Structure formats: C-alpha cells, structure tokens
Chain A
C-alpha cells in the first residue's frame, strides 16, 4: 500500500510539484526582504530620507517559517486533503477496501507517504533557502542552530498532515475536508494564547516561535511545546484511523 502511494506521487508528478512549490515559496522570502528597501525607495518622493536596516541572514531566514505558516500550510492541505476523501468520491476506496486490507494500514500508509513527501520537500526547500540567504546577505549563520530549527518545525508539518487526513477519513468531500482541516489548524495554532492568560510556552505555536528564535541565536527551551505537538499528532492519527474503521464506504 505504501508502495502504491509512492508510485502515485511519481505518476501524478507530486514528487516534483511539492518540493518545487516549497522552494519557490521559501526562497521568495529572503528575496523580498533584500529588495524591500529599493521597492520602498522607488515609491517615495526623491528628497525623502528613510533608513531601513538591512536584516542579517539569520533574521531573514527566521521569517521563512512565518511565510510557510500561511501559504505552506495551504499547499500541505491541498495536496493531502483528497488522500482518502477523494478516493471515496471516485469510488476507488470501495474497490480497495473490499480486499483483505486493514483500514488502519490503509490510513497509516497514506499518513506515512504524505509525511515523507512533505518533510523531504520541506528539508530540501530549507537547505536551498538557507544557502541562498547566506549568499544574498553575505553574512554567516550558525548552521547547527538552523538544522535544529528545521527539525523543530517538522512536527508542525506532521500536524498539518495529521489534521488533514483526520478530516479526509470521515468527510466525503475532499474540498470540505480541506477547508475544515485549515480552520482547525488555525484554531489549534492561534486560540490557546487567547484562552489562557498565563503563558507557560507550551502551546503548539510556541514551537514555531522557538524555531524562529533559535535561528537568530536566542537560547530556548522547546521540550514542552514539542511534546504537546507530538501528542496532538497522535490524537489526530488515532482518531482518524478509528473513524475510518467506523465509516461505511
């Protein structure tokens, strides 16, 4: 089953589309920052004096995750929302699931395949962006910090995939399941801060903040939000495969 998913990525060119779109998305961020002073200058009257500090490589790179937060998540959801819902819509799920295959296996192979695809694409995108940024801004960066930051962001990507497959497992329309996944992701990321005034840095969004801080060299503790995100991953994966088992295909 996992083999089939990988075959599908190759046949439908997802194996090229996903990394390339990630690279474009991420590389565009340092380019924008580099060109920003020029763009603003061109828009101002000639005698206006304005000083815009040029960011360091590290500062530029730390904004990439922010960019990924919006568009990157949408791409992640768009490619994964139909993984199960789409197969049910087409009727091919009824062909496959009347064969002696466990539905949990079915769910987990899709989760594994999409996780591998998106994580590899993300890492490739980040590596290219890092080197490109260093080249663009001509100052050095602590590569070990960047590597750790990338590693910290991976559970967030998994969370997007888990939420997306969770909805895909029991909602028959892939568009609706994608939409709900996006809404729930935004809720998970943005609401806890408002609900609890006491901020102990254990919310999922703190993991992203930590990853950003790490790149610009701040010292951080990341264990608590990391555990929370991993637990959320487990929750959505277990619920998703449970609901798929309950479904009438």
Chain B
C-alpha cells in the first residue's frame, strides 16, 4: 500500500523529515502518531501528492508518487485536518462536484451521494449551504466526499479532533467498518481513539520513525503491567520500602493512591500484598491494569 524509503523533506531552513522509512501492507487501520511538529502532516501531504519529497523514494499503491501521481489520486483519498469547501454550495452539490472531478456519471454520483451522506449522518442537511454547517458537519461531509471514489487507501489527518464525544464515537464506529474494505492511514494525537481502532501503529518523532509495530506486539514488548492501589491512610516510607524491591520499575504516589509499574506481573501478584501487609498498610482498593498506548507513547517519545 505504502512504502517510504529514506524520505527527506526540507523546507527553507528546517529539515522536517530526516529519512523516514516504513511500509504498510493490506487493509486495516494504521495509526500514525507523533507530537506537534513531529512531521505527521508533512508525511501525509507528501503521500497524498500535495507536497514533493526532497529526497527518497515514495510508493503508494505500487506507483511512484512523483511520476505516477495521477494514477494514484484515482484510488486514494485525503482528508485534511480542517476540510474546506466552496461554502456557497450545498452539501449535495459538493458531492456532485467531487464526483464529476472523478469523471463518474450522474446516476452513480447520485447513488453514492445518498448512500454516503446517510452513512455519515448529514443526509438531512444536504440542501443547506455549507457556510451554515458546524465544524462537526463539515468533518462528516469531508469524510463522505473522501469515500465517493471507494478508495483503496484513505488518508485522514486528525479526523476526530474537531468532533464532540458523540460525533467521535460515530465516526470511529464508521471507520471500524470501513477498515475492512480499505487501508486507513490516520494521524491523531487522541491516543485513546487510535487504540480503539488501529491494527498497527507507526510513531514519528522529530522527523524520524521511531516505532512501527502491530498494536499487540507493541503492548507485549513495551508495556510494563500496572498495579494501582488505594490505602485507608498513607503509610510513611512506603515508597522507599517499595523501591527496594527489584521487580518494581517505577512508582507514582499521590497521597494514599499508588500506581506502580512492575516488571513481572506474576511475581508482583505474590509479593506486593506481602510487602504491603508487612508495612502495616490497610488496602481499600487493588487493581491490575494493562498500560495504555498513551503510557507507551510518552515513554517512547521522551
């Protein structure tokens, strides 16, 4: 689907991408993560043919992005972070306009417009001018129009950041369904959402890919299980007692709430209650958590 070899992008004085290497294959959802200014949008803009690579080889759907751009554009779609439209058009008119750019015939455009506007929940607003749409509605229209060519590969730049919680949930549900039929390459910094729908994760930091892995492998190899517990009242010196145990990686302490990262969950399960008992602590809450993508991301990027 995508292969980037040593992709470099330089702007006047800065090197935004310093040799990006990664590839993705097959359908599914690929989460593209990174902090602000890490190079996410630049990479996506190059993959969608809006910007040109300074150096390196970029192939999308097997075609070279510089030489065969027009072949690629037929079978991909790109939705920018802030989709913009001709505001004087209605939602339906915009769909027809985009359909005509692909050279589809009227009947097909009509069918897909109805299907997609309904799917994205803005069918009722189809006859209103886009200038009157809310941010969430524009995002939905953006998604609907990006599906009109049934893309094999869909680029989404922060697709859910502008939506309210209900809208986010709806769009994520829709993406879960779509990823069966196409590859979705999605950048986001809402890691919770990426965790829900992504199959693979690619993390970029300061213009370089620092990780590319399936979400299961990532969790298996990068996470330390977390045990959190709450005590009836704070126990003096508990942290320093815990720090002496070699199966503990780190401790976070907020009054009588404790959160500890452990190396081996099985050892911790046996030893932690003993240690707490010996320290004279009275446990009111005890929970074993798996660490979230956010924990992993923060640990990797810092």
Interface contact A101-B84, CB-CB below 8 Å: no
> Chain A, 232-249, contact with B by CB distance < 8 Å: what is the 0/1 string?
000000000000000011
Residues of B within 8 A of A1 (CB): 101
Is B29 positioned at the interface, with any CB of A under 8 Å from its CB?
no
Residues of B within 8 A of A100 (CB): 70, 73-74, 101-103
Interface contact A98-B73, CB-CB below 8 Å: yes
User: Do most interface residues of chain B lie in helix, strand or loop, or is the interface mixed?
Assistant: loop
Stretch at the interface among A87-95, A146-154, A197-205: A87-95
> Chain B, 64-108, contact with A by CB distance < 8 Å: what is the 0/1 string?
000000100110011010111110110000000110111100000
Given A4-B97, A100-B73, A102-B70, A248-B83 contact (CB < 8 Å): no
Determine which of A7, A11, A94, A248 lies in contact with B84 in the assembled complex, contact meaning CB atoms within 8 Å. A94
Determine which of A91, A96, A98 lies in contact with B48 in the assembled complex, contact meaning CB atoms within 8 Å. A98
Interface contact A99-B98, CB-CB below 8 Å: yes
**A109 CB, min distance to chain B CBs, angstroms:** 11
Stretch at the interface among B49-57, B190-198, B205-213: B49-57
Residues of A within 8 A of B102 (CB): 99-100
Interface contact B50-A248, CB-CB below 8 Å: yes
Interface contact A101-B85, CB-CB below 8 Å: no
Given A99-B101, A100-B70, A102-B70, A8-B86 contact (CB < 8 Å): yes
Given A8-B86, A11-B88, A94-B73 contact (CB < 8 Å): no
**A169 CB, min distance to chain B CBs, angstroms:** 15
Given A96-B101, A98-B50, A98-B78, A90-B84 contact (CB < 8 Å): yes
Residues of A within 8 A of B45 (CB): 248
> Chain A, 96-133, contact with B by CB distance < 8 Å: what is the 0/1 string?
11111110000000000000000000000000000000
Complexed CA–CA distance, A102 and B89 (Å)? 22
> Chain A, 1-29, contact with B by CB distance < 8 Å: what is the 0/1 string?
10110011001100000000000000000
- In chain A, what residue has the closest Cβ to B52? A248
Complexed CA–CA distance, A200 and B61 (Å)? 59
Complexed CA–CA distance, A102 and B77 (Å)? 16
Determine which of B51, B88, B103, B142 lies in contact with A12 in the assembled complex, contact meaning CB atoms within 8 Å. B88
Complexed CA–CA distance, A4 and B142 (Å)? 18
Cβ contacts A to B, 20 pairs, < 8 Å = A1-B101, A3-B100, A7-B89, A11-B88, A11-B89, A12-B88, A91-B80, A91-B83, A92-B84, A92-B85, A94-B50, A94-B78, A94-B80, A97-B50, A98-B77, A99-B73, A102-B70, A248-B50, A248-B51, A249-B50
Listed from nearest, the 4 A-B pairs whose CB atoms lie closest are A91-B84, A11-B88, A92-B84, A100-B73
